[in-house]
Amino acid sequence: MTKHLMKGNDAVIRGALLGGATEFFGYPITPASEIAHAAAFYFPLAGHTFLQAECEVNAINMLYGASAAGSRVMTASAGPGVALMAEGLSYLAGAELPNVVIDVQRAGPGLGNIWPEQSDYNMVVKGGGNGNYKNIVLAPNSVQEMCDFTYKAFDLADKYRMTVFIMADAYIGQMMEPVELPKQVIHGKRKDWAIYADKESRKNLVTSIFMSVEEMAAHNQKLCDKYERLKNEIVDFEEVDTEDADILLIAYGISARISLSAVKELRAKGIKAGLLRPKTLFPFPSKRIAELSEKMKKVFVVELSEGQMLEDVKLAIYGKAPIELCNWMGGMVPSSKDLINKMGYGD
């Protein structure tokens, strides 16, 4: 079979194993629990490690240890669990340890509920832990991309020695769609900085602490230089009908799918709408958004939060076009008709 019908949460694990993941440490939480379930089944079958941690704090620190030893590691959670991982994520960034984290967002704050929201944007894209650091953040909007983005995430993590987040939402994690699996297995290579408990790696040191302020400042600058480089090397986005558009919708994840339907319906009514969907939330496609905004009568930011991505869009556009937020919270997910009505183009 060239295609397989599966949930987004299952597709993550297929993509991870084909992308060279060797260890999964995690703790189940709705709506991401199937990721841990699938890992518990498939990782041992592939000769790799699955370990259910006592909690999310332990899981993220297990990633630290295994990554320092050269493994390709991952975990998965939802908003409350990722919040518990914040300190560990900062440590991973400071020590420049590659790893992959899946966040299947649910409504908050607090326990909230298990329905979709996109309110982890600030926590994940801006960094929820202490210090000056960033994560690469990939935003899938289909089950196929859940597989594909996780498949390539381990190479990105190794190349830049960073955490790579796959930031989905409950709908993308729980929906079922046909998936074409990658045909080639990617295997990680020996890392010249890792600690393998052998003669060759004896002098290697993995740490995020520098007792000299000069060394600490230099380390911070090194990280910042890397994050700037990412903006020129891995920014990714999709455009639909932007060539002649005079109104632009910007959305990611499930909001982008709803926005795409809205664009088609608006086009059928003679309204020249277009869509820009960021595939990378960090680095953010600010340059392209700025270019497109110069010819737009209006820009609509569509998201399931109080407007967290809106702030990045405003910084990109910087007065070039009027901006309006179309948002829903608490697990409410609009139809394309709801969105069109909120935009002011309803019948």
Per-residue pLDDT of the chain (347 residues; tens, 9 = 90+): 579 999 999 999 999 999 999 999 999 999 999 999 999 999 999 999 999 999 999 999 999 999 999 999 999 999 999 999 999 999 999 999 999 999 999 999 999 999 999 999 999 999 889 999 999 999 999 999 999 999 999 999 999 999 999 999 999 999 999 999 999 999 999 999 999 999 999 999 999 999 999 999 999 999 999 999 999 999 999 999 999 999 999 999 999 999 999 999 999 999 999 999 999 999 999 999 999 999 999 999 999 999 999 999 999 999 899 999 999 999 999 999 999 999 999 98
- For the beta carbon of residue 316, count every other beta carbon within 10 angstroms: 21
Q: Which CATH class is domain 238-343?
A: alpha beta
> What three-state secondary structure class fits 327?
strand
Q: What is the DSSP letter of 33?
A: H
Whole-number Cα distances in Å, 337 to 5, 92, 128, 251: 28, 43, 35, 16
Distance CA 143, CA 325 (A): 27
Parts of the chain belonging to CATH 3.40.50.920: 238-343
| % of residues, the chain, pLDDT over 90 | 98
Distance CA 142, CA 29 (A): 21
Strand partners, 280: 138
Distance CA 51, CA 66 (A): 12
The pLDDT of residue 1 is 59
Q: Which residues contact 232 (CB under 8 A, 6 or more apart)?
A: none
CA angle at 91 for the pair 89 and 93, rounded to the nearest 5°: 70
Digit-coded pLDDT (tens) for 117-135: 999 999 999 988 999 999 9
Digit-coded pLDDT (tens) for 258-301: 999 999 999 999 999 999 999 999 999 999 999 999 999 999 99
Range list of H helices, the chain: 8-18, 33-45, 56-68, 79-84, 86-94, 121-125, 143-160, 170-174, 213-233, 253-268, 286-293, 308-317, 336-343
First vs last Cα of the chain: how many Å apart?
45
Distance CA 295, CA 50 (A): 51
Q: What are phi and psi of 297, to 5 degrees?
A: -75, -30
Q: What are phi and psi of 287, to 5 degrees?
A: -60, -45
The pLDDT of residue 319 is 87
Whole-number Cα distances in Å, 118 to 107, 129, 217, 230, 310: 8, 19, 34, 23, 12
Average pLDDT, the chain: 97
According to CATH, what is the number of the domain 4-233? Answer: 3.40.50.970
Q: 91: alpha, beta or left, given left = phi > 0 and alpha = psi -120 to 50?
A: alpha
Parts of the chain belonging to CATH 3.40.50.970: 4-233
Digit-coded pLDDT (tens) for 64-104: 999 999 999 999 999 999 999 999 999 999 999 999 999 99
Strand partners, 169: 105
Distance CA 89, CA 63 (A): 10
> What three-state secondary structure class fits 165?
strand
Ranges of beta strands (E only) in 294-341 are 298-303, 323-327
Nearest in space to 254 (alpha carbons), one of 197, 183, 175, 195:
175
Q: Are 255 and 281 in contact (CB under 8 A)?
A: no
Tokens 């496609």 belong to residue: 285
Nearest in space to 144 (alpha carbons), one of 179, 172, 102:
179
- Output Rg (C-alpha) for the chain, integer angstroms: 20
Residue type for position 161: R
Token reading at 321: 């076009």
